[in-house]
Amino acid sequence: MSIDHSRRRALFGLGASLGSVAFSSMLRAEDRAARAPLTPKPPMHRARAKNVIMLFMEGGPGHMDTFDPKPALTRMHKKESKLPYGLETGFKFFVGSPFGFRKVGDAGIEMCDQWKHLADPYIANELCNFRGCQAESLNHPEALFHMNTGSRLGGDPAVGAWASYGLGTVNQNLPGYVVMTELALPQGGPTNWGSGFLPPHYQGTRLRPEGSPILDLAPPAYKSRQHQRRALDELARLNADHLKSLGGKSQALQARMSSYELAFRMQAEVPGVVDLSNEKPATLDMYGVNESETGQFGRQCLMARRLVERGVRFVQIFSGGWDSHDYLERGHSARIKSVDKPMAALIRDLKQRGMLDDTLVIWTGEFGRTPDNNKRGGVYSLGRGHNNRAMTMLLAGGGVKPGIVGATDELGSSAVENVHPIRDLHVTLLHLLGLDDNKLTFFHAGRYKQLSQFGGKLIHEMIA
Amino acid sequence: MAGRFTHGRMLTLVAALGLCCCAPSGLAADDKRALHQSSADRLFTLRVLPLLKAKCFACHGGDAKKVRGGLNLLTRADMLKGGDSGEATLVAGKPEQSALYRAVTWGDPDLEMPPKENDRLSKAEVEIIRKWIAAGAPWPNEAARKRIQEAEWSVIENEDGRIVTTSGGTSQEWTYRRYEPADLWAFEPVQPKAKLLPQHVKPGDAIDYFVNRRLVDRQVKPAGQASPRVLLRRAALDLTGLPPTPQEIQQFEAAWSRDAEKAWAELVDRLLASPRYGERWARHWLDVTRYADTGGMSNDFERSNMWRYRDYVIRAFNQDKPYKRFIVEQLAGDELADLSVLERVDGNWKAVHKAQLDGDYNEQEAEWIVATGFLRLGPWDNAMVKKEEARQIYLDDLVNITGQTFLAQTLRCCKCHDHKFDPIPTRDYYRIYAAFATTHMAERPVPFTSSESQERFDTGRAHLQRMLDFAVAEKNKLVEKREAAALAWFKAHNLLYKNQQQRRNLPDEQKPPRHVGLNHIEQGQLKVREQDEWIWRRRLERYEPMAQSVYNAPSFSLAWNGARKLRIRRNAKPQPVPQQHILSGGALTARGDVVQPGVLSGIGLPVNAAADDPFLVTPAVAGRRLALAEWIADDGNSLTTRAIVNRIWQYHFGVGIAANANNFGAKGGKPTHPALLDYLATDFVENGWRIKRMHRLIMMSDAYRRRSAPADAALVNRIDPNNQLLSYYRSRRLSAEELRDGVLAITGELVHADGGVPVMPEINMEVALQPRMIQFSLAPAYQPSRTPHERNRRTIYAYHVRGQADPFTELFNQPNPNESCELRESASVTPQVFTLLNSETMTDRSIALALRLQRESKTLPEQVDRAFQLVLGRGATTSERKRLTTYVGDMQAYHSRVKPTPTVYPTKITRSLVEEFSGRPFEYEEILPIFEKYQADNKPTDVSPRTRALADLCLLLFNTNEFMYVQ
């Protein structure tokens, strides 16, 4: 900014008094009304978690290659499979996991040998491994929609939208529901974090991994913050005069006026969240921020902690590449490597800061993988198909009981104990947040709609 | 929000059954008891048992092992026994001691039954349970219940409501259930005009008669007429989606001062005659029908010819096609074409099928087939979905969208069960499903008509061909490398070379590894190029004389990746027509009754009054949809006619006469002016189903022309906060399209066109280049059209990709095309501010306007004034002119010291993707040839500090509420 001092005072002094003091006090009541959709609301019952961080492994991690060992498969490796499930056709053969397994922590969570950091008992003791969940769809976007919105069709509100709808959010300068993805969007795109029929305030806001964290957050470089302040003050004056000409009252117009002031505050707040330069080097190292394999996911996990710290209700991180139809060993070991250290760091960090009790961390894919595979291009491909009857997930903190819940059959082909459809997971998740899925409803298209679509059961076994 | 299940009616019942007070006093005690007993028996049979069935038995009735909490409610004895908790579930005569009663009151947070908000008993229903227990909880036997039941069913209407005759539910309880008559408003015949409008009221005054009648009733004074300037902007935006120019304002104000009524009537006629009208109103239709140029889901394959349907809709509005025909063409245009050909070929169906394959159609037939794009608008992709399920998803989508679009009914509810609130049995859902069961998707050869634009075909095709050639060349390099390695392998093993197809089924020992000669990077690249080849071939079909349509056939076959190429496929041998069953719970395996193709039975409008079942259509392969469409478009179809006039009304007033334009059921909003709705529906039918006439009728009313501020704000806020009485005009925010198109019009950049292949406007560059996962690959980057002339067109012509919404239009609530949108959201959310203030597109527009101001006006104060004229349709006030002249001057000083950075357009980008199978990342290059000779709009670097300062003012004005709202 290079306008001389006295001139600047003349310019911005007037503006500031209009925009920041007189004008905003005039609008205070309506300002609150405009923000009402996101003001914090009390839970319906005792909440075990205030926030959620959901780590979404897009593509569907193989349960038998991560947390649910199947020695029987190793014995039957490459033997013909007659299992009738999945969409693979023709000759199918069993695929043993390329990884060894061991039990870690007090609860004896079984982890493949690729998990190095998560296996630290300090972390592992916090984990609940749920093996009873069943998806419905066999294809990525539908299954992603199902896990994220409760409906396979896409277009319904996302879990995070329901949570913000039910609880509002603590920090009014940040969105209540934040999503981080890789550079490439997951299949189905923003429909995975949409607000569906809920008002648009509840939709997930994507913090972009590169470029501007929120689209068009900052003005073009040649317009300074003072330049923008002046513009906003002039705008406020035009809008105030216009409002007066209409008789002085209009909730919609006033809400829109205050959204400019909120935007101006967000412009200051959001870059601070994204800027990791004031984190200690040890913290950055712990998350693997400076390593090539873990850099992106590590940064996002650290960002997730910072967002939750600042009162963001629901954070979701998508990490892809788990769809190992072939080259399972290479694929899964590389994927595990990219998330192992950051996840462990996140749980450790939350625990050390006393935030884990209030923060529910979930690690899941959209479905699991099959014990068998078909030939690809005529050769034995060591990979797995999509499995909607069995999968694996990890949960930590936020009122979750460490240990193993549920079981899959000997081959990992289907969940057999503590079997629950996705809607039960959703019901449980809301329950931990102090929300009752049956009461968290929104009237739309002729009925009271809810996340679980038509109700579900609590998974008591995973609740502490 | 609609009310819950009506309480009043239930209370009436309880009173009617004589339980509230005692029996007549003259009776002996025994008689009293007997009477009491019979009333309680009736209460149980007619009210309590159905409630238990509906709300309790799913968890507490049946298999002893499965019942929740060990509590069975199936019999009185079970109830008395109670459940695991040991609490007394039922204490006859003592509701307060009965856990059953306490649970349904939801008084105790630990004991709330049924547990779902949706299922919770209404107060009246709770009262029924209480009365029954208080009366000793009698449980008459089945024979007694049957007697009570049959006696009740023989009365169509009583104080409990009305029984609606339908094709029959899956249970007698449903078939004979009673509806609150007020909830059935949409199912009743439309009242004739004579019953609605007194003779002394002129037809032209009808709307105001109905509206004012209510205002007088409630003693609310309506707001006065808005100023001519406000009215002009309102009318222009409502009808054409574009703001009036300063010249038009001037002319209109002059005409208004000569003769206001005449000026207004002429204005409405002029706007309706403008080709811009169809572009605006087609968009409303596309919101409802879910227009997109791609199919969504895994692959988001392009539906390359969908633009022809978009243009068909625009033409239909511009030509004022009778709505009746519009319905039939969209639902059954292909059948109309078949019949037309059939006549030409003397009834030879083989020749009809040949015409389908050859695309041998005249202009009218071509237009009809293009109209059936309606049947192809839902998101659909069968990748990794079982064949039968993929088919069900498609047919369910057709039933559902047909119901919402034309009949304002939510039919999807009935996929699994009889409708919970409305007289629509699941049987009717499956009858309509069966009417679509011979319908199959296909891209069909259909010649272009003379009214279709083939502009930009050459440049568009050349660009896509270049993209295709690049993909194929890159693919071939990799294939050659692989095959060279394969050849070497075969040689080394002393075997004869076989190409990939030939060696596919050989045992492993007799052929090289699958990706021989390629490392994981090349493997990944090969897959990307193979997908790209498909994508570009598919997109090249935009320029082919093809249409996204359907055809009739008894059976279907579907490739695993069927969505990428759907063509007419006929079996050589005649196939049997498959039978349709009711699918209980929507499950393909749970086959219930066989159903015939048919229509909704609840409105009592027959397809063929003389038939045994008057609600069935032909069971033949062809003709089902046409019969369904003709039934929908029947003059007597009260759902259809009310639905369309209600939509038209809604787009003029912001809210329909009935608030839920897609749902006229019990749970939708009730009409605020039912007589008006009926009057309009009748008038619409009597005058040939013409939409333009309806606009005139509405816009000529006083109700439409009111000011946007209420006459007495305090009073209105108190008694009519939602403006249901229409005492003032409900101001509205500009829609996404009005905003983008309006700004382009104001800057002078808007290029008008009459349809054609989608245009590629500039979208946020980060989003345009953002990688996007599709099955096996990344979707190619979005490249805008090369020149402003090609890209700065109305938003309705923009390329609509399901998986990649334009963030600008999305932010301003252009609906997600996966669900029918009855009414758009218009909430102010903060990201809108970021876009309006900071985006490149708004910066560019502000510069374009600044340049226009400089061209058209000399001095700064004049330019300020002109900016106000162009953006807000009025001159600046003296103080505004003074203040903003100072502002621009200050900003000029600012900009003279700050240098913007130039925009750089990449001509290629490097993509990184994790190889799906190996989990390892690889890179590949994608070309962006559009940017090689790109004609950018004027950028900050192209203009002087003076222009940039003026642009700051323009941006301000575009951000004002005065611009963003229609008053």
Query: Can you give B231-269 as a three-state secondary structure string?
Result: HHHHHHHHHHCCCCCHHHHHHHHHHHHHCHHHHHHHHHH
Residue B331, in any domain of the structure = yes
Q: What is the ipTM of this complex?
A: 0.86
Range(s) of the domain holding residue A410 = 40-210+278-462
Distances (CA, A) of A327 to A70, A75, A333, A376: 18, 19, 10, 11
Instruction: Assess A249–B contact: CB distance below 8 Å, yes or no.
Output: yes
Instruction: Assess A4–B contact: CB distance below 8 Å, yes or no.
Output: no
Single-letter residue type at A28 = R
Please give the Cα distance from B629 to B374 (Å, whole number). Answer: 13
What φ, ψ does residue A291 adopt, rounded to 5°?
-105, 145
> What ranges make up the beta strands (E) of A226-265?
none
How do A177-180 and A127-130 pair as beta strands?
A: unpaired
Name B549's bridge partners.
B442
Please give the Cα distance from A435 to B878 (Å, whole number). Answer: 56
B830: chain A residues, CB-CB within 8 Å: 259, 262-263, 266
In terms of domains, do A348 and A423 share one?
Answer: yes
Instruction: Assess A292–B contact: CB distance below 8 Å, yes or no.
Output: no
| Residues in chain B, overall count | 967
In terms of domains, do A199 and A327 share one?
Answer: yes
For B57-73, what is the mean pLDDT? Answer: 80
Domain boundary among B632, B651, B672: B632
Please give the Cα distance from B168 to B602 (Å, whole number). Answer: 10
Please give the Cα distance from B686 to B680 (Å, whole number). Answer: 10
Residue B840, in any domain of the structure = yes
Instruction: Assess B887–A contact: CB distance below 8 Å, yes or no.
Output: yes
Q: How deeply is B97 buried, as exposed, middle or buried, from its count of CB atoms within 10 A (0-12, 13-18, 19+)?
A: middle
Residue B177, in any domain of the structure = no
Please give the Cα distance from A286 to A282 (Å, whole number). Answer: 6
What pLDDT band is residue B246 in, cutting at 50, 70 and 90? very high
B residues 353-392 closer than 8 Å to A (CB):
379, 383-386
Neighbours of B503 (CB within 10 A): 18
Residue B97, in any domain of the structure = yes
In terms of domains, do A226 and A302 share one?
Answer: no
| Residues in chain A, overall count | 464
The C-alpha of B908 sits at a distance from chain A's nearest C-alpha, in angstroms, of: 17
Tell me if A227 and B891 make a contact (CB, 8 A cut-off): yes
What φ, ψ does residue B866 adopt, rounded to 5°?
-65, -40
Which residue in B769, B766, B798, B797 sits closest to B782, CA to CA? B769
Residue labelled with tokens 């799913």: B58
Number of domains into which chain B is organized = 5
Tell me which chain A residue has its CA closest to the CA of residue B823.
A197
Please give the Cα distance from B376 to B446 (Å, whole number). Answer: 16
For B245-265, what is the mean pLDDT? Answer: 98
Per-residue pLDDT at B577: 85
In terms of domains, do B744 and B606 share one?
Answer: no
Q: Give me B865's structure tokens.
A: 């004034």
Instruction: Assess A209–B contact: CB distance below 8 Å, yes or no.
Output: no
In terms of domains, do B884 and B756 share one?
Answer: yes
In terms of domains, do A408 and A345 share one?
Answer: yes
Could you read off the pLDDT of B502-550 as tens digits, one per residue? 998 888 888 998 889 999 899 999 999 999 999 999 999 999 999 999 9
In terms of domains, do B127 and B62 share one?
Answer: yes
In terms of domains, do A33 and A64 share one?
Answer: no
Residue B607, in any domain of the structure = yes
B878: chain A residues, CB-CB within 8 Å: none
Domain boundary among A257, A275, A293: A275
Please give the Cα distance from B854 to B870 (Å, whole number). Answer: 13
Residue percentage of chain B with pLDDT more than 70: 96
Per-residue pLDDT at A376: 67
How do A177-180 and A314-319 pair as beta strands?
A: parallel
Tell me if A141 and B297 make a contact (CB, 8 A cut-off): yes
Helix (H) or strand (E) holding B473: helix B457-492
Residue B893, in any domain of the structure = yes
For B46-56, what is the mean pLDDT? Answer: 87
Residue B571 has pLDDT above 90, yes or no: no
Domain boundary among B681, B713, B745: B713
How confident is the prediction for chain B on average, in pLDDT?
91
Q: How deeply is B219 buried, as exposed, middle or buried, from its count of CB atoms within 10 A (0-12, 13-18, 19+)?
A: exposed
B110: chain A residues, CB-CB within 8 Å: none
What pLDDT band is residue B856 in, cutting at 50, 70 and 90? very high
Could you read off the pLDDT of A106-144 as tens digits, one per residue? 989 999 999 999 999 999 999 999 999 999 988 888 899
CA dihedral B255, B260, B261, B263 (to 10 degrees): 20
Domain boundary among B612, B632, B652: B632
Instruction: Assess A108–B contact: CB distance below 8 Å, yes or no.
Output: no
In terms of domains, do A46 and A32 share one?
Answer: no
In terms of domains, do A370 and A421 share one?
Answer: yes
Could you read off the pLDDT of B416-448 as tens digits, one per residue? 899 988 999 999 999 999 999 999 999 999 999
- A185, A327, A333 member nearest B773 (Cβ): A185
Could you read off the pLDDT of B670-700 as tens digits, one per residue? 999 999 999 999 999 999 999 999 999 999 9
Tell me if B890 and A87 make a contact (CB, 8 A cut-off): no
B residues 792-811 closer than 8 Å to A (CB):
803-805, 807
Range(s) of the domain holding residue B441 = 322-448+545-632
In terms of domains, do A169 and A296 share one?
Answer: yes
Number of domains into which chain A is organized = 2
Query: Can you give B613-658 as a three-state secondary structure string?
Result: CCCECCCCCCCHHHHHHHHHCCCCCHHHHHHHHHHHHHHHHCCCCC
In terms of domains, do A122 and A226 share one?
Answer: no
Please give the Cα distance from B241 to B224 (Å, whole number). Answer: 25
In terms of domains, do B693 and B830 share one?
Answer: no
In terms of domains, do B684 and B661 share one?
Answer: yes
Could you read off the pLDDT of A391-420 as tens digits, one per residue? 999 999 999 999 999 999 999 999 999 999
Residue B180 has pLDDT above 50, yes or no: yes
How do A314-319 and A51-57 pair as beta strands?
A: parallel
pTM, two decimal places: 0.84
Per-residue pLDDT at A351: 97
